Amino acid sequence: MRTYKITSLLVITSLALFSRSYGQKTASLKDSYKNDFLIGTALNATQIEEKDPTAKVLIPKQFNAATPENIMKAEVIHPGWDKYNFDLADKLVAYGKKYNIRINGHTLIWHSQLPAFMHGMQDADSVKQYFTNHIKTVAARYNGKVFSWDVVNEALNEDGTLRKSIFADKLGPDFVTEAFRLAQAASPDAQLYYNDYNNEQPAKRAGCIALIKKIQAAGVRIDGVGIQGHWRASNIPLKDIEESIVEYSKLGIKVMFTELDLGVLPNPWDGDAADVNMKATYTAKMNPYANGLPDSMQVKLTKGYEDLFKLFLKYKGTVSRVTFWGVNDGQSWLNGWPIKGRTNYPLLFDRNYQPKPAFDAVIALKK
């Protein structure tokens, strides 16, 4: 069996505390980092509607920012050409107001999870009409109610070129700039962000910087860039992340880590990815921790989060928000992507909402 060197007393102490119950004495992430940056989480419908009693207590205590997992994506909020479904999005806004949690709208324009009527649409004028009406209608409804918008999500390929999508194909390469222009007009009180994965990697980062400069050169407002942060605990690209914080900040914009999780399972491909359309076949070898995470991996996860938050704190004047993509391990999309039926452990709270050693490591940095 391979052994791992435990690098600090902090990790040993955290492992000893792993079995404690969540309660009033548990520290608060948002309070610990209140002078540094917002601490956010992704919320699902059950959590937004406060149907989970444990989450109802934990979320307002731990987080001061929230992003909806799916309920503001186009297939949910705009299911028919002239039909919008604002029910859950309105509940999310009310939830944020109730608990003083800043809401990040996610997302206005994305090539994935589009409504069914968009599938196979060939007419460029129809795509343009959808594009314009969708942004105007949704962004305007929540002007002054959401703190920020992920205006465009995942528009780039890994080499930094523009991704082939229905929007790029029918509207041309300036569709990203136009999306920000429309969002700025419809929701002038919201912060406007571009969001992507792997845009801390040099080639994609260069493409992202070029995209942001193009928006700025057109006289259109863009307030920040989101680096999703879907990394593996054993392979966090800390050097690339730091270089990206520095390079993006030179553009005069904020930097956020918008969908943070640290997977611990084997990757079926070389390198990291976060394309929801990528799939792989289940094998037992690809699901090694179905019965629990061994201490060796718990240590890696803890060290990974510790290293990341040290870096975030180093640039706390530039990093404005860190959002985890889910509240607890059971909620994580990584249990079903890219292979369905796996058991992953990528977040700070376990499947019973208990704080993990990684939680203690993140809190300890502020003590």
**Could you read off the pLDDT of 135-190 as tens digits, one per residue?**
999 999 999 999 999 999 999 999 999 999 999 999 999 999 999 999 999 999 99
Does 11 have pLDDT greater than 70? no
Q: Indicate whether 189 belongs to any domain.
A: yes
CATH of the domain at 296: 3.20.20.80
* Helix, coil or strand: residue 40: strand
pLDDT of 118 strictly over 60:
yes
Asked whether the predicted pLDDT for residue 266 surpasses 50, the reply is yes
Encoded tokens for 196: 């992507």
Please report the pLDDT score of residue 39 as a whole number: 99
**Chain length of the chain:** 367
Phi/psi zone of residue 26: left (φ > 0), alpha (ψ -120 to 50 degrees), beta? beta
Does the pLDDT value for residue 273 go beyond 90?
no
Is 243 an active-site residue? no
CA gap 363, 32 in Å, rounded: 7
What pTM, to 2 d.p., does this model score? 0.91
pLDDT band at 12 (very low <50, low <70, confident <90, very high): very low
Residue pair 171/123 in contact by the 8 Å Cβ criterion: no
286 φ, ψ to 5°? -85, 0
Amino acid 23: pLDDT = 54
Does some domain include residue 167?
yes
Cβ neighbour number for residue 52 with a 10 Å cutoff: 17
Q: Is 73 left (phi over 0), alpha (psi -120 to 50) or beta?
A: beta
Looking at the domain assignment, is residue 4 inside a domain?
no
Q: Please tell me the total count of domains within the chain.
A: 1
Rounded to whole angstroms, the Cα distance separating 20 from 228 reads 30
In a domain, 3, yes or no: no
Lowest mean pLDDT among 285-289, 299-303, 312-316, 362-366: 285-289
pLDDT score recorded for residue 337: 82
Q: What is the pLDDT of residues 314-364, one digit of tens each?
A: 999 999 999 999 999 999 999 998 899 999 999 999 999 999 999 999 999
Catalytic residue among 69, 178, 259, 306: 259
Measure the CA–CA gap between 99 and 264, rounded to whole angstroms.
32
- How many helices (H) and strands (E) in the chain? 13, 9
- Give the Å distances, CA to CA, from 232 to 7, 19, 261, 304: 19, 24, 8, 9
Q: Which two tokens stand for residue 366?
A: 């502020």
Can you tell me the distance from the alpha carbon of 367 to that of 257, in angstroms, rounded to the nearest whole number?
22
Q: How far apart are CA 26 and CA 298, in angstroms?
A: 20
Mean pLDDT over residues 250-273, rounded?
A: 88
The answer to which of 1-15, 51-65, 275-289 has the lowest mean pLDDT is: 1-15
Confirm whether 2 is domain-assigned.
no
Q: Is residue 75 annotated as part of the catalytic site, yes or no?
A: no
* pLDDT of residue 3 exceeding 50: no
Cβ–Cβ < 8 Å for 233, 315: no
Q: Where does the pLDDT of residue 6 fall: very low under 50, low under 70, confident under 90, or very high at 90 and above?
A: very low
Cβ atoms of residues 153 and 180 within 8 Å:
no
Cα–Cα distance for residue pair 335/292, rounded to 1 Å: 13
Q: What is the mean pLDDT of the chain?
A: 92
Domain membership of residue 47 (yes or no) is: yes
pLDDT of the residue at 272: 60
Query: What's the pLDDT tens digit per position in 27-68?
Result: 999 999 999 999 999 999 999 999 999 999 999 999 999 999
Let me know if residue 67 belongs to a domain. yes
Q: Which of 69, 154, 178, 200 is catalytic?
A: 154
Residue 275 has what pLDDT?
61
- Within a domain: residue 200? yes
Enclosing domain of residue 345: 9-364
Judge whether 364 and 10 are in contact, CB under 8 Å: yes
Beta bridge partners of 323: 40
Which DSSP symbol is given to 162? B
Three-class SS of residue 35? coil
Contact 63, 95 (CB under 8 A): no
Please name which of 289, 294, 232 lies closest in space to residue 263, comparing C-alpha atoms: 232
Q: pLDDT tens digits for 176-227?
A: 999 999 999 999 999 999 999 999 999 999 999 999 999 999 999 999 999 9
Q: What is the dihedral of CA 336, 50, 67, 347, to 10 degrees?
A: -50
